[in-house]
Amino acid sequence: MGHDYRPEREYDVRPVPGEADLPLANAMADLREEVLPALGVDDVTVFFADLDEDLGRYVSGTSSRPVIGIDHDNLSSASRIQGLEYRRQLAATLAHEAAHAYRETLGLDDLDEDAAGTFARRWVLEGIVDVSVLVPGDDGPSALRQEG
Ligand SMILES: [Zn+2]
């Protein structure tokens, strides 16, 4: 089961910026080792493009092999502002977007920013891969959703 989504049909896909090469390789290695197996995802496809205000974007409907866009300029700014290494900011963004894909496979609201954000932060800041934050508990999905 796959999909034939190609980001260049929708985005002005750019080559990976030179300074992002190594951080991307490192972030992907960590993601593949620690996060993707927990999400039951074989691998992700990453492309670089201008994503308006977003750091990253999961392309809805590609969960069989999630396609994730990264905006290098926005990510660089965010990493400076938050005092987080580019590599870690990138890793967090990839985990965040992979979390959206995971929720989509469960038939949940794949745009729940709280769940995806919590999942990514816990991994990057605490080293914990906690899939349970992506799955509604007894309180139901509304407990994880922030209005507004
Ligand atoms: Zn998100």
Report the distance separating Cα 95 and Cα 55, nearest Å.
12
Angstrom CA distances, 50 to 55, 59, 85, 106, 145, stand at 9, 14, 21, 29, 27
| CA 46 to ligand 1 center in whole angstroms | 15
| CA 2 to ligand 1 center in whole angstroms | 23
Q: Is 147 exposed, middle or buried (0-12, 13-18, 19+ CB in 10 A)?
A: exposed
Report the pLDDT value the prediction gives residue 108, as an integer from 0 to 100. Answer: 87
Residue-range domain boundaries for the chain: 7-144
Report the pLDDT value the prediction gives residue 1, as an integer from 0 to 100. Answer: 58
CATH of 7-144, one of 1.10.1660, 3.30.70, 3.40.50, 3.30.2010: 3.30.2010
Q: Which residues surround ligand 1, an ion (CB under 5 A)?
A: 113, 116
| CA 100 to ligand 1 center in whole angstroms | 7
Average pLDDT per 10 consecutive residues for the chain, totaling 148 residues: 89 96 97 97 97 96 96 97 95 97 89 92 96 78 49
